[in-house]
Amino acid sequence: MANFNIDAKKDMVYDAIIIGSGISGGWAAKELCEKGLKTLILERGRIVEHLVDYPTMNLDPWDMELRGGLTPKEKEKHYKNIRSGWVGKDTEHFWADDAANPYTETKPFLWLRGHQMGGKSLIWGRQTYRWSDLDFEANAKDGKGVDWPIRYKDIERWYTYVEKFAGISGEALGLPQLPDSHFLPPMKLNCVEKHIKGRIEREFLGRNMIIGRVAHLTQPHNGRGQCQYRNRCQRGCPFGAYFSSNAVTLPPANASGNLTIRPYSIVQSLIYDDTKEKVTGVRIIDSETNEAIEYSSKIVFVNASTLSTTQILMNSKSSRFENGLGNDSGELGHNLMDHTYRVGATGKVEGFDDKYYKGRRPNGIYIPRYVNIDKNSKSDKFLRGFGFQGGGFRGGNPANIESFGGDYKDSILKPGPWEFFLTGFAECLPYHDNQVTLNSHVLDKWGQPTLSIDAEFKANEKALNKQIQEDAVEMLQKAGLKDIVGFDKEHPPGYGVHEMGTARMGQDPKTSVLNGFNQIHTAKNVFVTDGACMTSSSCVNPSLTYMALTARAADHAVSELKKLNI
């Protein structure tokens, strides 16, 4: 692949500027560049070129001096990220510097960020599911939040479009609440998972257990290689087998000849022209030189990640928009959501001692939502619902075995007992008072105001979590597991890394920031297609929906440009 054009000095004027190069920004780049727009990506962090900049992709534990451990200095740099349990030496370089980029937790909130080309698409969980009308109609039906301006039929063909290019593996089920994607062959369940699937589906009418639907190639696809079952995805994949901007969307954007990507570009604000009544460009600060620069464009896609996008819009003040760009409704910054996380049950599986597996499958099982999907499944304890991820594996902690010495040592060279766990993801309602605000008392390394985050899970989410744990324990019991432990880490929002909302879509400009094509109602040449745009949170992983919304919005943007409407 050719190197990226990072020379943004040549041109200060573009057809399109995209802020951020993660999952949604990468898609915006591919679509806009391929449709012929001269496009500039403003990337906050450094360039991460596919393969070239994956320094740990082939390291075994013993190849790292501390076998994955972090030094106190590295831990300090990631003093917030580290709470997630995901940060080690193998991926440390793909997590943002918490010390240089502070935020204030008015209430506990874990904000995980990836400040580099590709953003969090390098380190995401890769679970990919379509949303359904159960999700798009939820707010309208129970009156929480505002109605989505779109329905499944509006986005269905865009799901297909992005899936065909990204490559999604999975099994078709034909469930209305979890529509099937355009699938590559599914990954396989191991023998314990197959056994438990059989028991759960027999014992509980209407529940299904399937292999996770994931953005991994199970066969070669569009010049990318298939998954080699190394499970080192978060380090960057040498085969390009999982979806990341770096491996999938940015190379074709680059190949079009229309892309410039400017690294080290911290967006300060969007420039709104009162007389033209639209945004004319973007102000940045070069994070290396502290130089302030302005770029102009016909349209702007804001894809900085949910909260960073909103931070930029809030910081984009003008005489027309004193409270932040597009914020006539007062909803900018509000209705922050995430999925609940690490609540479920785990237990031991007896038998199968002579069975093992080969390969480290970067995927687990999924149990689609089964509550509040119809009259029969209606709960009087909570609104909305939840789904489960989980998996079976040979685990056990050899340190817990009450023994030591030669025989003990030889015994732990063999794999431990089979375990199986379920962990739920519950939908979070859009609450107006779950919000972020600009904080000018705490400034970042570049003197910019930061965010204060004031959000919490409330009674409905707690009731969902209670049900998740009860159901998980019951399913494991009915499946015959032993030593079952129910758990709820009571994580505050943020741990699910599915932060959504704060610049929601809606039909009415009085109660929402974006319209049905992700345009700011009152500045139609600005598009927001990352998690900030979400009107409700579903219980289903959101990234595939960001991809589809982005491709749809890019198509609309180009069509509107041609018609001279924006």
Among 342, 462, 466, 478, binds other proteins (CB under 8 A): 342
Provide the minimum distance between the beta carbon of 125 and other proteins in the complex, in angstroms, as a whole number: 9
Residue 12 binds to other proteins (criterion: CB under 8 A): no
Question: Taken in order 130, 232, 109, 78, is the CA torsion positive or negative?
Answer: negative
The answer to whether residue 204 forms part of the interface with other proteins (CB under 8 A) is no
**Which range binds other proteins by CB under 8 A, 40-48, 240-248, 377-385, 485-493?**
485-493
Other Cβ atoms closer than 10 A to 411: 12
Instruction: Report the residue number, 123 or 314, with the smaller CB distance to other proteins.
Output: 123
Q: Which helix (H) or strand (E) holds 225?
A: none
229 near other proteins, rule: CB under 8 A? yes
Q: Does 141 bind other proteins (CB under 8 A)?
A: no
Q: Where does this chain touch other proteins (CB under 8 A) — which range of 13-21, 173-181, 225-233, 332-340?
A: 225-233
CB 510 within 8 A of CB 457: no
Show the tokens assigned to 158: 């865009």
Residues sharing a CB contact under 8 Å with residue 139, sequence separation 6 or more, in sequence order: 145, 146, 147, 148, 430, 535, 536
Q: Does position 421 bind other proteins by CB under 8 A? A: yes
First to last CA, the chain: 34
In 130-219, alpha helices (H): 133-136, 138-142, 152-166, 191-203
C-beta closer to other proteins: residue 102 or 416: 416
Q: Does residue 317 belong to the site contacting other proteins (CB under 8 A)?
A: no
Biggest CA–CA distance in the chain, Å, is 82
Its sign, for the CA torsion 345, 348, 350, 352, is positive
Kindly state whether residue 346 participates in binding other proteins, applying the rule CB under 8 A: yes
Beta-carbon count within 10 A of 174 CB: 7
The residue among 93 and 342 lying less far from other proteins, judged by its C-beta, is: 342
User: Applying CB under 8 A, which of residues 205, 413, 459, 564 lies at the interface with other proteins?
Assistant: 413
The SS3 of residue 155 is helix
Residue whose structure tokens are 């943020």 = 494
Question: In the complex with other proteins, which residue's Cβ is closer, 354 or 380?
Answer: 354
Among 107, 157, 202, 360, binds other proteins (CB under 8 A): 360
Q: Which stretch binds other proteins (CB under 8 A): 198-206, 287-295, 403-411, 431-439?
A: 403-411
Establish how many alpha carbons lie within 13 A of residue 166's alpha carbon, considering only the half-sphere containing its beta carbon: 37
Residues 6+ apart with CB under 8 A from 446: 266, 285, 287, 290
Q: Hey, which residues between 57 and 86 contact other proteins (CB under 8 A)?
A: 58, 60-62, 65-72, 75, 84-86
Residue 279, φ and ψ in degrees, nearest 5: -80, 135
- Shortest Å distance, C-beta 403 to other proteins: 7
Measured from the CB atom, the residue of 53 and 419 that comes closer to other proteins is 419
Which region among 49-57, 103-111, 412-420, 442-450 touches other proteins (by CB under 8 A)?
412-420
Q: Does 199 bind other proteins (CB under 8 A)?
A: no
- Outline where DSSP puts E strands in 242-291: 259-262, 265-273, 278-286
Cβ(247)–Cβ(266) below 8 Å: no
| Minimum CB–partner distance for residue 366 and other proteins (Å) | 15
Question: What's the closest the beta carbon of residue 361 comes to other proteins, in angstroms?
Answer: 5
Taking alpha carbons only, the member of 525, 526, 545, 527 closest to residue 536 is: 545
Window 369-398: contact mask with other proteins (x via CB under 8 A): -------------------------x--xx
Q: Which two tokens stand for residue 269?
A: 């604000």
User: By CB under 8 A, is residue 409 in contact with other proteins?
Assistant: yes
Q: Does 183 bind other proteins (CB under 8 A)?
A: no
Taking the CA atoms of residue 244, residue 250, residue 253 and residue 256 in that order, the dihedral angle to the nearest 10 degrees is -120
Residues of this chain that interact with other proteins (CB under 8 A) are 58, 60-62, 65-72, 75, 84-86, 187-191, 193-194, 228-230, 342, 344, 346, 353-361, 394, 397-400, 402-406, 408-410, 412-416, 419, 421, 423, 485, 487, 489
